[in-house]
Amino acid sequence: MAPVGGAFRALHAHELGSPVLRALLQRAALSTEAVDAVVIGNALGAGGNPARMLALAAGLPDRCAALSIDTQCCSGLDAIAMAAGMLASGQASVVIAGGVEAWSRAPIRQIRPQHAGDAPVAYERPAFAPDPARDPDLLESAADYAAQQGWTRLQQDSYAVASHRRALENQVFLGAEIVSIMGQQHDAYPRILTPQRAARMPLALPQRGSTDCAPSTLAISTRADGAALVLLATAQACSELGLMPRAAWLASASVGADPVTPLLAAQVAAHTAMQRAGLHRATDLQAIELHDAFAVQGLGFCQALGLQPCDINRSGGGLARGHPIGASGAIALVRLLADLQRDEAPGARGLAAVAGAGGIGSAVIVERMESR
């Protein structure tokens, strides 16, 4: 990933995602003809069908199905869950799914005027709930939650500093997951942060004034461009095509929660997915990835699941990497799969979770398979 305006600033979504798709097929030693469908999450493309653009740009056959979905921050993980559903229902045998976001190239949004002669009205984001009272600005909602729960700026900044540190410490391992695009061979955003430097970071909402719980800009994930894809296949397809699966799909959940505090939806989704997988405690999981758009989200998630911050995002989270909206959930799953493969024994289980605007959440549970 790269921050908005950085290395990927000139790339459209399909130009960012197609090299990743081709690299995925190469790593799996799989022909383009074997892919039945591509399912892509994308939040800022303003219509069209980014999945179709990506599939054709990557050289997949014309007959390949292509579906694009937009559940904002949950898009990438929801796309993968949809792909798993396609396999389970017999609609496909091999699907590539994930998320792509070219935020730097996102269209400028305007509302069409109702009357001739009126000017269109530009807007930054659409409504996520029909009642404005239940559709707060996401940053303001996170700040309110921090104040209500008593999460101090020091706690939030410490969480963010640890996220950056873990990302830098594991950069060699992360490099194995990354497809080099535009010469970018590692995530561009992680940096060395001392407590002193963190203390100098400005407030994210200076107009509200300084309070003990006011988040700094360090405690918010930066806007980013990025892509992440995974290959899913049925057991029969794996056997016929000689694929060696790294993980088995156990359960997933796409849920709704209170839109006033949307960051809590990841907790709800995680609990639901665990229940569907027959797991009673988060400590039954060997690895957990949360896309933490805000430090206070990570702190609250850990508290709700009976975890410590060091129990999640072992190589840094969204605070250290950035937030390419439609891809963030898929990136969390890619990180989870890599950690299970590198650090855990067969049978180890992991969870990836993300929350989205409007009070929606998604979570997935997978199990590492025996290497053959």
pLDDT tens by residue, the chain, 372 residues:
999 999 999 999 999 999 999 999 999 999 999 999 999 999 998 779 999 999 999 999 999 999 999 999 999 999 999 999 999 999 999 999 999 999 999 999 999 999 999 999 999 889 999 999 999 999 999 999 999 999 999 999 999 999 999 999 999 888 889 999 998 888 999 999 998 999 999 999 999 888 899 999 999 999 999 999 999 999 999 999 999 999 999 999 999 999 999 999 999 999 999 999 999 999 999 999 999 999 999 999 999 999 999 999 999 999 999 999 999 999 999 999 999 999 999 999 999 999 999 999 999 999 999 865
CA dihedral (297, 303, 306, 308) positive or negative: positive
Cα-based angle 34, 35, 41 (whole degrees, multiple of 5): 165
What's the confidence (pLDDT) of residue 259?
Answer: 97
What's the confidence (pLDDT) of residue 175?
Answer: 85
Cα separation, 51 vs 119, whole angstroms: 33
**Where do the H-state alpha helices sit in 177-259?**
195-200, 235-241
Other CB atoms within 10 A of residue 149 CB: 12
- Residues in CB range of 5: below 8 A, 6 or more apart: 104
Of the candidates 291, 360, 363, the residue with the CA atom closest to the CA atom of residue 129: 360
Cα-based angle 272, 273, 274 (whole degrees, multiple of 5): 90
Helices 295-305, 138-149: axis angle to 10 degrees equals 50
Q: Per-residue pLDDT tens for 262-309?
A: 999 999 999 999 999 999 999 999 999 999 999 999 999 999 999 999
Tokens (6 digits) for 332: 């969390």
Q: Provide the pairing of β-strand 94-101 with 224-233.
A: antiparallel
Of the candidates 330, 101, 360, the residue with the CA atom closest to the CA atom of residue 223: 101
Q: Which helix (H) or strand (E) holds 321?
A: helix 318-321
Give bridge partners of residue 255 from the DSSP assignment: 361
**CATH top-level class for 2-107+223-368?**
alpha beta
Cα separation, 213 vs 197, whole angstroms: 18
Other CB atoms within 10 A of residue 302 CB: 21
Q: Per-residue pLDDT tens for 10-56?
A: 999 999 999 999 999 999 999 999 999 999 999 998 779 999 999 99
Cα separation, 86 vs 93, whole angstroms: 8
Cα-based angle 249, 252, 256 (whole degrees, multiple of 5): 170
What is the domain partition of the chain in residue ranges? 2-107+223-368
Alpha-carbon dihedral 212, 218, 222, 226, rounded to 10 degrees: -130
What's the confidence (pLDDT) of residue 372?
Answer: 59
What is the SS3 assignment for 20-70?
HHHHHHHHHCCCHHHCCEEEEECCCCCCCCHHHHHHHHCCCCCCCEEEEEC
What's the confidence (pLDDT) of residue 79?
Answer: 98
Of the candidates 138, 176, 171, 182, the residue with the CA atom closest to the CA atom of residue 293: 138
Tokens (6 digits) for 152: 């101090």
Cα separation, 265 vs 135, whole angstroms: 14
What's the confidence (pLDDT) of residue 105?
Answer: 96
Cα separation, 151 vs 230, whole angstroms: 35
Cα separation, 260 vs 137, whole angstroms: 9
What's the confidence (pLDDT) of residue 307?
Answer: 97
pTM here?
A: 0.96
